[in-house]
A and B are shown apart, each in its own frame.
Chain A
Amino acid sequence: MKKRSGTDGSLLASLPWTLAALSLSLAPHIQYLPPWISGAFFACAAGRWQIERKRWRLPPAWFRGVLALAGFIGVFASYDSVSGVGPGSALLAVMAALKLLETRQRRDQFVLLFISIFLIMSSLLREQYIWSLPFLLAAITLTMTAWLRMSVTTGVTIRDSFRTGGRLLLYAAPLTLAMWIFFPRIATPFWAVPIDTSGASSGLSDRMSPGDISSLSLSDAVAFRVNFESSAPPPSRRYWRGLVLHRFNGRTWSGNDPAIDSRAKENIEAIGDPVRYQVTMEPTQQQWVFALDIPYELSLENTHMGPQQQLVRSQPVDRRIAYEAVSYLRYNTDFDLSRTARTWYLRFPDDSNPRTVEKARQMRRAAASDASFIENVLQMFHEEEYFYTLEPPALGNNPVDRFLFDTRQGFCEHYASAFALMMRAAGLPSRIVLGYQGGEMNPIGEYMIVRQSDAHAWTEVWLQGRGWLRIDPTAAVAPERIDSGMSGARFGEAGASWGLTAPARWLYSLGLTWDALNEKWNGWILGYGPEAQGRFMQWLGMEEPNWRKMVLTLLTLVLALICAISFLLVRRYRPPKKDEAARIYRQFVRKTGVLPDLGETPHAYAARVVRANAAPEGAAHNITASYLDARYGPPDARALAALQSAVRGFKASIAGRYENRLPSLRGS
């Protein structure tokens, strides 16, 4: 039987850097990967390094086979699908771990470094923050340096390798930039693959059950940013329409209708001036698109208006999208509501929340009209003891009854739900609208930030002759929530300290600056799409930019830059000129400021320079010796390099400069 020999230690110079590159490329994935995958990778990396150091043997083939099988089954078990960045990066990590265990030769590391590049790529597909750029540069520098280390000869230090890698990357930088700017961007993707099926969706859910969750988690994450063409609407008008729920089962509101309805827009009667703005929305993995109430026009492809004027996209928002929108803040909708529709908006289970139903019917009987009934209900919320809190107690069965008569504490969902049910009980069609309310202006950058914590629920009530009216019962309980435009997080108890103390304020404005940076980043770097590119081309002076012109420019630029690089390299490897030594020596003479006399030998000159205090004795002698060596010795580039570094390191002392300015003093 053939005995397998241990590793020969030939990878000692390169393996640690390959491992470092892989680890860095894997780092942004770790928070998304199942822990066992990262664990397996780092275990394999540490194990492989130990094997190389101790000259142990690699694990046998059958063992690696079993591991491979286990790894792939594990990935398939952890993810339902195999497409997308999540499972893709998991597979890459597993492959890297397995490949490590069979890396015997120098060249096997190529595979690992290719995996490293793919890991960087997939992390960029997943997230594109500002720090993704430095990450990209660091990871690619490390990967390419590890690549250099693979074929390095003995005696080349890691510093040399980094310098070489950095130099090559620097040469490549102008080419990269030119290609990035001029490569024509196209609008439509070739095929739609979900970027990440494993990522949790953020934003609003398409159902609402007040009382199920006893506290609302409010994240400061940005939902979307808005640039208004003219001034922003006042805080009380900042209602961002999302989904509309009309089905109620006594506990949960649901029933958003994603069907496209071309008549939905016809049912809007716009009043007054339109508001024009641009929204940049963060990915939510959901179909809903948000616009100021009420949306009128939208420039996003595959997006349409549903029957209740909600905006629906045919595919989930899986990346940051930007769209232009036009809204009217004053409007009328649905003067005529069909009988069927009306029954829809009146329906609720008879056996649930009896106390609320009874109370509503009583109040309606007492009121003169529908409008005054609405008025009375809002009055009740305002005047009786109802509290706005983000951490209300949990509600059991008949949650609306429990909330309205017992706990009397809640946030927007509770009030909207109770209000809508009361309307229905009294015979008024009603529905719930989910979206965002508010948004703060960032003074740095002049745009509005709407956060997840601005999520809001309000109601719409249909009145004969007036159509749907937006009524926000939360405003009756906590008008500050609406009027100030302050979002919940900064309004509730938890956020009470915001804006009160100086460090907090400082932190707050720092946050705004950071967000403004992000906005620029999104607009300039991530949002450099077909339109932005077209605008930039025009700014550069290209008339009617199209992809042909851009490709032509690109090719010309790339060719020119390659010529420039070639020229740089020619210079780099050109043998030094014959009198290079004399040229460098003249620099020294210039630095000392002491003029050499005619026919003065270098030694005599050096002695005079030292006497004149223009240079320390050691430096002057060192430079003179190197100069004589380089100029009169056998041809040797090393001597020249020594002279060069000596002169470069030399700094003239003050006396020399002084003497240079007053040449008449010399010799006296």
Chain B
Amino acid sequence: MLYFPPLTTVITARAERWAQKRQGVDRPSTRLRSGRIYILPTGVGAIFALMTFAMLLGSMNYNNNLSFLLTFVLAGLGFVSMHQCQRNLVDLEVSFAGVDPVFAGQSAEFRIAVTNHSRNRRHNIQLFSGTTRSSVRDLGPGESRVFHLGIPTERRGYTQLDRYGIRTLFPFELFHAWAWLHMELRCLVYPKPADRSPPPPPSQTAHGHRQHDARGEEDFAGFRQFHDGDSPRHVAWKAYARSGELLSKQFAGADTSSQWFDFDRVSAADTETRLSILTRWIVDAERTQRDFGLRTPGREIPPSHGDAHRHRCLEALAMFKHTNRARAAA
């Protein structure tokens, strides 16, 4: 059986491709020129136009000058709202403001900052990508606001946001003005942590003995000066609030144990499950402040802890296949 996609989908896809070819790739911070803002009437706009036309016929039929006036007020408002709608977007500055890595299955929250450089308010601005919509916000004069575009993710690796748009229906939702932006944004997606996983391999002390009590981590040992790289969870915020001095809490045994998470030693059938289990271990280990190292074919990350370390490990897992393939090629 032949499958015909809906006409609107085809037209939209064509238009999007045409726009991309026309505009090229945008810089991470882009001012919207009037030439790249598209505008079409909405369904409400079509009904409004039909109603105005019917009212015109009625006015002509009854030769009623007051209803002519009403009709022309509405027609005039239609024209005005078309231009107002388009101008509501022109000269806004759209910039990429970052995105944090997520686990597969979570939505990647792209942060996009929109700045209004004019002295007048921009109403009802919204970002969109596909069927995803950000919240609708106003931008006061000179105001800059960060919009969140949550793009659902499925697989680890990079998720791309090739195209997103900014749009407005202001003032009367009779017209829909929008602009497409192509910034080639991407977000790193970690593997999804396994729901059920075998217990992680046992921790080892520096001497090779199994540490007798993992809860030693929770034994408070004292404070020391904050160093870059310390987890914010260990900062003594109460002390900071009192004295203004940044201190890190020290826990007994926190530095003494370490674990090795080895890709080849995970007992699971396929690669993705293994990655999933490794991810789970890393997440859990980081939550309990244990040192851990990661060993994958061709790569070894020595035991450590902290957000940067966690990210390094998870990124290695996220990009795993690529390195694997590279190795196979070599």
Query: Interface residues, chain A, CB within 8 Å of chain B?
Result: 110, 114, 117-118, 120-121, 124-125, 128, 132-133, 136, 140, 144, 147-148, 150-151, 153, 155-156, 164, 168-169, 171-176, 179-180, 183, 185-187, 189-191, 193, 195, 319, 525-526, 528-529, 558, 562, 565-566, 569-570, 572-576, 635-641
7 A-B pairs within 8 Å (CB atoms) are namely A168-B77, A169-B73, A169-B77, A569-B87, A570-B87, A575-B91, A637-B116
How many Å lie between the Cα of A319 and that of B66 in the bound state? 13
Interface centre among A140, A172, A528 (most CB of B within 10 A): A172
Is B83 a contact partner of A574 (Cβ separation < 8 A)? no
Partner of A125 from the list B58, B60, B84 (CB cut-off 8 Å) is B58
Q: B118 to A133, Cβ gap below 8 A?
A: no
CA distance A150 to B124 in the complex (A): 11
Check A189 against B62 for contact (C-beta < 8 Å). yes
B positions within 8 Å CB-CB of A: 44, 47, 51, 55, 57-58, 60-70, 72-77, 79-81, 83-84, 87-88, 90-91, 116-120, 122-124, 136-138, 140-143, 169-173
Q: Which residues on B sit within 8 Å (CB–CB) of A168?
A: 77, 80-81, 84, 171
CB neighbours (8 Å) of B67 from chain A are: 121, 124-125
A565 touches B83 (CB 8 A): yes
> Are B70 and A121 interface neighbours, CB within 8 A?
yes
- B75: contacting residue among A125, A175, A570, CB under 8 A: A175
Which residues in A have their C-beta under 8 angstroms from that of B75? 175-176, 179
Q: Are A638 and B65 in touch, CB under 8 angstroms? A: no
| CB-nearest residue of chain A to B56 | A183
Q: Please, which residue of chain B has its CB at the minimum distance from the CB of A179? A: B72
Interchain nearest-CB distance for A23 vs B (Å):
18
**Could you tell me if B47 and A526 are in contact, using CB atoms closer than 8 angstroms?**
no
Bound-state Cα–Cα, A176 to B141, Å:
30
Q: Which of chain B's residues have a CB closer than 8 A to the CB of A639?
A: 142
What residues of B have a CB within 8 angstroms of the CB of A117 in the complex?
51, 70, 74
Does the CB pair B142–A636 fall under 8 Å? yes
Kindly report which residue of chain B lies nearest to residue A156, judged by CB atoms. B138
Do residues A573 and B118 form an inter-chain contact, with CB atoms below 8 A? yes
Q: Which residues of A are found within 8 Å of B74, using beta-carbon distances?
A: 117, 140
Question: A153 CA to B140 CA in the complex, in Å?
Answer: 12
Provide the bound-state CA to CA distance between A183 and B211, in Å. Answer: 93
| A573 in contact with B120 (CB, 8 Å) | yes
Query: Which of the residues B47, B60, B76 comes within 8 Å of A179, measured between beta carbons?
Result: B76
Question: Hey, which chain A residues are within 8 Å of B169, CB to CB?
Answer: 151
Contact, CB under 8 Å: B141 / A575? no
* A318 smallest CB distance to B (angstroms): 9
A422–B142 Cα distance when bound, in Å, is 93
A84 to B119, CA, bound (A): 50
A110-B57 contact in complex given A526-B65, A637-B117, C-beta closer than 8 Å: no
B171 CB contacts on chain A under 8 angstroms: 148, 164, 168
Q: Name the CB-closest residue of B to A170.
A: B80
In contact, A140 and B70 (Cβ under 8 angstroms): yes
> Which B residues touch A169, using CB under 8 A?
73, 77
Which residues of the partner chain B approach A125 to less than 8 Å between Cβ atoms?
Answer: 58, 62, 64, 67
Q: How far is the CA of A573 from the CA of B88 in the complex (A)?
A: 8
B120 touching A124 by the CB < 8 A rule?
no
A174 CA / B75 CA spacing, docked (Å): 12
Contact of B63 among A189, A525, A570 (CB under 8 A): A189
A128 to B64, Cβ gap below 8 A? yes
CB closest chain-A residue, reference B62: A125
- Nearest CB in chain A: distance from B145 CB, A: 11
Given A125-B62, A147-B172, A575-B91, A172–B47 Cβ distance below 8 Å?
no
Q: Please indicate the chain A residues that have their CB under 8 angstroms from the CB of B118 in the complex.
A: 572-576, 637
Q: How far is it, in angstroms, between the C-alpha of A185 and the C-alpha of B61 when the chains are bound?
A: 10
CA distance A505 to B63 in the complex (A): 38
Are B119 and A576 closer than 8 Å at their CB atoms? yes
| Residues on B with beta carbons closer than 8 Å to the beta carbon of A569 | 83-84, 87
Contact with B61, one of A120, A133, A179, A190 (Cβ below 8 angstroms): A190
Q: How far is the CA of A562 from the CA of B78 in the complex (A)?
A: 11
Q: How far is the CB of B11 from chain A (nearest CB, A)?
A: 24
Chain A residue nearest to B75 in the complex (CB): A179
Return B74 CB to nearest CB of chain A, in Å.
7
A153 and B124 within 8 A (CB): yes
| Whole-angstrom CA separation of A210 from B330 in the bound complex | 120
Q: Which of B65, B73, B79, B83 has the most CB of A within 10 A?
A: B73
State whether B170 touches A565 (Cβ < 8 A): no
With a cutoff of 8 Å between Cβ atoms, the chain A residues found around residue B65 in the complex are 128, 180, 525-526, 528
Across-interface contacts of A144 in B (CB, < 8 A): 77, 172
Distance (Å) between the CB of B113 and the closest chain A CB? 15
Q: A190-B60, A562-B79 are in contact. Are A136 and B142 (CB under 8 A)?
A: no
List residues of chain B with CB within 8 A of the CB of A529: 63
| Choice from A118, A151, A187 contacting B124 with Cβ under 8 Å | A151
Q: Judging by beta carbons under 8 Å apart, are B120 and A572 in contact?
A: yes
A245 to chain B, nearest CB (A): 33
Of chain B, the residue at the smallest CB distance from A636 is B142
CB pair B119 A180 closer than 8 Å: no
CB distance from B81 to the nearest CB of A (A): 7
- Cβ of B87: which chain A residues have Cβ within 8 Å of it? 566, 569-570, 572-573
Please report the C-alpha to C-alpha distance between residue A169 and residue B75 in the assembled complex, in whole angstroms.
11
> Which of B63, B124, B142 contacts A637 (CB under 8 A)?
B142
A-chain residues with CB within 8 Å of residue B90 when the two chains form the complex:
570, 573
A527 smallest CB distance to B (angstroms): 8
Known: A151-B170, A565-B80. A574 touches B66 (CB 8 A): no
> Which residues of chain B are near A572, meaning CB under 8 Å?
87, 118, 120
Residues of A within 8 A of B69 (CB): 133, 136, 176, 180
Q: Which residues of B contact A140 (CB under 8 A)?
A: 70, 73-74
Q: Once bound together, how far apart are the Cα atoms of A121 and B137, in whole Å?
A: 34
Using CB atoms, name the residue of chain B closest to A574.
Answer: B118
* CB atoms of A641 and B138 under 8 A apart: no
Closest 3 CB pairs of A and B: A637-B142, A172-B76, A175-B76
In the complex, what distance in Å separates the CA atom of A186 from the CA atom of B143? 52
Q: Are A183 and B68 in contact (CB under 8 A)?
A: yes
Least CB distance, B91 to chain A, in whole angstroms: 6
Nearest-neighbor residue (CB-CB) of B116 within chain A: A637
Of B47, B83, B138, B143, most buried by chain A (CB within 10 Å of CB) is B83
Do A172 and B142 have beta carbons less than 8 Å apart?
Answer: no
Q: How far is the CA of A176 from the CA of B73 in the complex (A)?
A: 5
Query: Which one of A114, A124, A183 has the greatest number of beta carbons of chain B within 10 Å?
Result: A124
**Distance from A551 Cβ to chain B, minimum over Cβ atoms (Å):** 13
Contact A195 B62 (CB under 8 A): yes
The residue of chain B having its C-beta at the shortest distance from the C-beta of A164 within the complex is: B171
Q: Which residues of A contact B57 (CB under 8 A)?
A: 190
User: Beyond A124-B66, A150-B173, A526-B65: 18 further Cβ-contacts under 8 Å?
Assistant: A121-B70, A124-B64, A128-B64, A136-B66, A172-B77, A180-B72, A186-B63, A190-B60, A319-B62, A566-B83, A566-B87, A572-B120, A573-B120, A573-B122, A574-B91, A575-B119, A576-B119, A637-B142
- Contacting residues, chain A, for B63 (C-beta < 8 A): 185-187, 189, 319, 529
Contact between B66 and A128, CB atoms less than 8 A apart: yes
Residues of B within 8 A of A570 (CB): 87, 90
Shortest Cβ distance from A84 into chain B, in angstroms?
Answer: 12
Chain A residues with CB under 8 A of B140: 638
Min CB gap B46→A, angstroms: 12
Task: For the complex, give the distance between the alpha carbons of A175 and B81 in Å.
Answer: 13
From residue A10, how far is it (CB to closest CB) to chain B in Å? 13
How far, in whole Å, are A528 and B69 apart by their CA atoms in the complex? 12
When chains A and B are docked, how far (Å) is the Cα of A215 from the Cα of B276?
Answer: 100
Q: In the complex the two chains form, what is the Cα distance from A574 to B26 in whole Å? A: 22
Cα(A567)–Cα(B150), bound, Å: 37
- Residue of chain A at shortest CB distance from B138: A153
In the complex, which of the residues B58, B70, B117, B137 has the most CB atoms of chain A within 10 Å of its own CB atom?
Answer: B70
